Amino acid sequence: MHLKNELRLKSLLKGISWRLVGTVDTLFIAYIITGDTIKSLSIGGVEVFTKILLFYIHERAWSKVSEKYWNKAKKIFSFAQPKNNIINSDEWLVNRSMREQKNNHSGCVIWLTGLSGAGKTTIARYLEQKLFGDGYAVKILDGDNLRSGLNADLGFSEEDRKENIRRTAELAKAFVDTGFITIVSLITPKESFRELAKQIIGEKDFHLIYIDASLEECERRDVKGLYAKARRGEIKDFTGISARNTFEKPIDSKLILNTQETNVNACVFELYSFINTVSTFSGLPDSNFHK
């Protein structure tokens, strides 16, 4: 039976069943008032048909109310419902601005992207050491470490890789809201993944840094032995080796650090200098960045 016809039949049956109950009640009340059985049955007999018809019309009228107007009605009467308990970060008693003032610097995310073995983790560690030594609140979020904890339930399918980025970006945003310089070291192979991270963190706080090294150079280094395992088929869907997981070079990175042509110390210094020039850090004391 067509769904619309089923709904109409259901409305009709509901009307009949309800009116049978209502009619018994009407007969009882009519008899109490009139004391006449014949009159009571007459009143009940007429009432049962008129009320069934009215109920059916009423029910069908409500079914015509569109979802659009129903949602508007719900909003109008939602004042009695509990309010959304999500509090904007600016409304906390201790907010981001207060934390940054105490830290004496602004928070931001330095998102390092590049192939495995390009030098992301090494640069992140040396940069963290330098910033921490100069008194800055700084934290590294490393892809390998996150996959052994927070993201341990994720694999390397397209969906899982995207979820890995989403969770990491949400965590990075939480650190930024506490005024931290947050360094993310994550392959982030697709442009859509990087865009997702930027949307979550916010364009003002998100700074994409491309750690550039050719596939051949990364495979030559193979510091973790991952490329060799991928070549032997022990690791599936490995970025750069699997045809389904190629690395898309960033189109809008703030800085490109070529680790084939530049040593680690020079890369760290260049990134350190970049942090001092981005608008997010305009209020930082320059002396701390030029020691």
Give the residue numbers of the binding site for ATP: 114-121
* Burial group, residue 203, by CB count within 10 angstroms (0-12, 13-18, 19+): exposed
The C-alpha atoms of residue 153 and residue 187 are separated, in whole angstroms, by 18
Residue type, 203: E
Phi, psi at residue 134, to the nearest 5°? -90, 5
Report the binding-site residues.
114-121
* H helix or E strand, kind and range, residue 258: strand 255-258
Q: Which residues of 156-173 are buried (b: 16+ CB within 10 A; e: fewer)?
A: eeeeebeebbbebbebbb
Tally of CA atoms within 13 A in the half-sphere of 268 that contains its CB = 15
